[in-house]
Amino acid sequence: MKILKIDHLGVAVKSIDTGKNFWTDVLGLRFEGTETVAEQKVTTAFLPVGESEVELLESTAPDGPIAKYLEKKGEGIQHIAFRVENIDAALAELKAKGIQLIDEKPRHGAGGARIAFIHPKAASGVLVELCERD
């Protein structure tokens, strides 16, 4: 598979409204608004950093994946996302190698991306997201 770059780092926060302050006021990153992905029960905010971004993730429901993450681990880096040239080819390659996937097929992410998660068990305990953007 062809990995193009680190697309973004996903950071779980209790609240984007207050959680963004460190990233914007202290680090000076630009806040460009939020987007809710209803099917993932998450609201996201992407803050550009050069060629990559920081993604802040806030849960929209107590049973969502980010709510569960916060409950278990508290705020922090929740996933790392790599941009791939072709996500279908990447998933096919991983499947052929017997890598444990959370998503067998790409689904919709924020910003019109197609995304899929690899299981942390296959990746040194790191939740890895693959994403393809036009």
DSSP 101: B
Q: Give the shortest CB-14-to-Zn ion separation in angstroms.
A: 18
List all residues 6 or more positions away from 58 whose beta carbon is below 8 Å from its beta carbon. Answer: 13, 14, 15, 16, 19, 42, 43, 44, 66
Task: Name the residue whose CB lies closest to Zn ion.
Answer: 10
Please calculate the CA angle 105-109-113 and round it to the nearest 5 degrees.
Answer: 85
Q: Which CB sits closer to Zn ion, 96 or 115?
A: 115
Q: Give the shortest CB-53-to-Zn ion separation in angstroms.
A: 9
Q: Give the shortest CB-11-to-Zn ion separation in angstroms.
A: 10
Using alpha carbons, select from 56, 60, 52 the residue that is nearest to residue 75: 56
DSSP 1: -
Binding mask 77-116 toward Zn ion (x if CB under 5 A, else -) reads ----x-----------------------------------
Q: Give the shortest CB-72-to-Zn ion separation in angstroms.
A: 18
The amino acid occupying position 121 is K
Q: Which stretch binds Zn ion (CB under 5 A): 9-17, 18-26, 60-68, 98-106?
A: 9-17
Residue 10 found at the interface with Zn ion (CB under 5 A): yes
Strands in 114-118's sheet, in edge-to-edge order, are 35-37, 42-49, 52-59, 3-12, 76-84, 128-132, 114-118, 107-108
Count residues contacting Zn ion (CB under 5 A)?
A: 4
Residue 65 found at the interface with Zn ion (CB under 5 A): no
Residue numbers at the binding site for Zn ion (CB under 5 A): 10, 55, 81, 129
